[in-house]
Amino acid sequence: MPADEVRSTAELLRATARQALEELRGVIGVLRDDTEPTAPTVPQPTLADIPRLVDEVRRAGAKIAFDMQMSEEAGPPSGLSRDAYRIVQEALTNVNKHARGTATQVRISGGPGHDLTIGIRNRMPLANTSGAAGLPGSGIGLVGLRERVTLAGGALVSGPDAGEFVVEARLPWPA
């Protein structure tokens, strides 16, 4: 792997890890006893941050076609917006780990009173041509997404489909 690609991937991993740590600190702050000082709150990423996330992943060498069509009406509730970001983030992380270099499509659409739909599709890798073993997965990323989507009242489908790996989520967006 070229040094520039390694550096870009490492920067992306550092940024993702930092975001995950900040979110974990926020959760721990909520769980603490009221008598203890809480962790400083850090703004959570939202639907509006997804274009930036896609650009970061592209800079790390990914080939991503991105289409986001949102209603011009009011923005989504914060929980829905945060869930959407996390779905795209996890799916793109999986593409990077398991199908690096494959063409990927990210499509997002929705609006108040309609579902928010998120679809991420990538071609299945034909073979490991780099000579390196694929990165192992913990197996909990998609399970965690499914739990997140279910708690939000939505549905998540993931898995192989006609030579592609698909992650599709549908989340309710109240009117």
Structure tokens at 136: 């192992």
The answer for residues whose C-beta is within 8 angstroms of residue 76's C-beta and 6 or more apart is 47, 84, 110, 112, 116, 173
Residue 50 lies in a domain: yes
Which residues are registered as beta bridge partners of 122? 104, 165
Give the tens place of pLDDT for each residue, 102-117.
999 999 999 999 899 9
Residue 3 lies in a domain: no
- Report yes or no: 135 and 115 within 8 Å, Cβ to Cβ: no
Structure tokens at 42: 């850090």
**Residue 87 and residue 142: Cα distance in Å, rounded?**
9
Structure tokens at 36: 């203890």
Structure tokens at 120: 């991420």
Tally the domains of the chain. Answer: 1
Residue 86 lies in a domain: yes
Range of the domain at 77: 45-127+136-171
Give the tens place of pLDDT for each residue, 15-41.
776 677 667 666 666 565 555 555 556
Q: What is the pTM of this model?
A: 0.74
Residue 70 lies in a domain: yes
Structure tokens at 55: 């650009």
Residue 72 lies in a domain: yes
Residue 123 lies in a domain: yes
- For residue 56, what is the enclosing H or E element? helix 50-59
Give the tens place of pLDDT for each residue, 89-106.
999 999 998 898 899 999
